[in-house]
Amino acid sequence: MHLFALNLSDLFLSLWRGTMQCDPDDDKSTWDWMVLVGDVWKRHGEDVAKAAKHLPSYFDKPPRNPAEKMNSGYKAQEFLNYLYVLGPALLRDILPKSVKFLATNSNAHINCSVKSTWILSAFIISVKPRDFSSADKVCMHSCIPVLRRFVLGREDTAANGPWRGRSGILGRKSSSTQIPRYAGAEDLGNGFILLRARDEFHQRVDGEYGLAILTFLEEEEGEAAKEGWFPRVARWARLRLPNGQIVRSVWKESKMATARPARNVKYLYDKEVRYGEVQFFFQATINKTGKEHSLALVSVYSDPDPEILEESYGTVIQCDYFGEEALDVIAIGDIQAGVAMIPIGEDGAYFVAEKLGLDIDTMAGTEEDMHAD
């Protein structure tokens, strides 16, 4: 953890801020990557602090303003969330293209992205001393071994390091962990649990919400509903996922004075990944089959911006939000994970932030407290 959280972060930031000690013959004025200085560094720190407010509690320690707090006991988890969760998007328009590549691929690598690991490996393999000035060569001789470890560390650690043989232990812990009982909850099976608050009685749902649910039911039934009919449902506020995360809803969070939003999810639709903001959860019986479905009403985010996705090698997923103009009903079983959607820019766009090490937390049986809200 210290390699990624402290050592590499110190390496990157000291280069970008120009605080790294260098050879007397090296001229820092030629460092085109030294961009986090002066007002740029101050504004960037403010952007990090604003973005951190949108990280759900399962991200653990949200990063404070690095321009103000980096020398005041900045935690390892703060560095991880700052650089590898928020960094790829917040640094994209600051860093020059010559170094943006390394910043944006850090996040994907820690999330065990095979594609990004391959890309970073190709970069390291292709680096040759002749590509740099004499001063740069000294730096690269130090950086290349660290970067190689950055790419190979997961394999080396798994085979020879302190986690050797732990995968079986973690797997056994996960399989034997008993899901705790929670008063008023409804266990849907496969690790999904609906959690209160819940409507005491079924409520008529009209407006855009009602139309979205009505459209879903008509498609499932294969026939149109009677004119003027609107569905009646009992809303659920929260959902516990198989990975231990707890997703809330707009209905729940609209009643909370202070809360780090936890209402956004990643889900599958026709085998493709999509992102949505949960309005509420509910259950409905399809008369045609007599089967009860556990569902979520979501506001669907747009497809990722293709140019940004390509430029960032798939590590910055930036989407637009349409609110009630893009409502859809999805099966709860299609939800893969809770995510953060961080506002960016002035055009109402959001970028996706996923929790680092979620797969490890899942194997270890780590989960949120269902009684917390």
The confidence score (pLDDT) of residue 184 equals: 85
The confidence score (pLDDT) of residue 176 equals: 38
Task: Provide the pLDDT confidence category of residue 154 given band limits of 50, 70 and 90.
Answer: very low
Task: Provide the pLDDT confidence category of residue 228 given band limits of 50, 70 and 90.
Answer: confident
Nearest partner of 328 among 306, 304, 299, 355, judged by Cα: 299
- CA separation, residue 45 to residues 63, 119, 306, 332 (Å): 10, 29, 27, 37
Residue 199 has pLDDT above 90, yes or no: yes
CB 298 within 8 A of CB 279: yes
The confidence score (pLDDT) of residue 162 equals: 39
Domains in the chain and their CATH numbers?
A: 2-160 (no CATH), 184-364 (2.30.30)
The confidence score (pLDDT) of residue 35 equals: 93
pLDDT digits (tens, 9 = 90+) for 117-135: 444 444 444 444 444 554 4
CB 103 within 8 A of CB 88: yes
pLDDT digits (tens, 9 = 90+) for 23-46: 888 888 888 889 999 999 999 999
When the pLDDT of each residue in the chain is averaged and rounded to a whole number, the result is 80
pLDDT digits (tens, 9 = 90+) for 45-72: 999 999 999 999 989 899 999 999 988 8
**With 0-12 CB in 10 A as exposed, 13-18 as middle and 19+ as buried, what is 149?**
middle
The confidence score (pLDDT) of residue 72 equals: 84
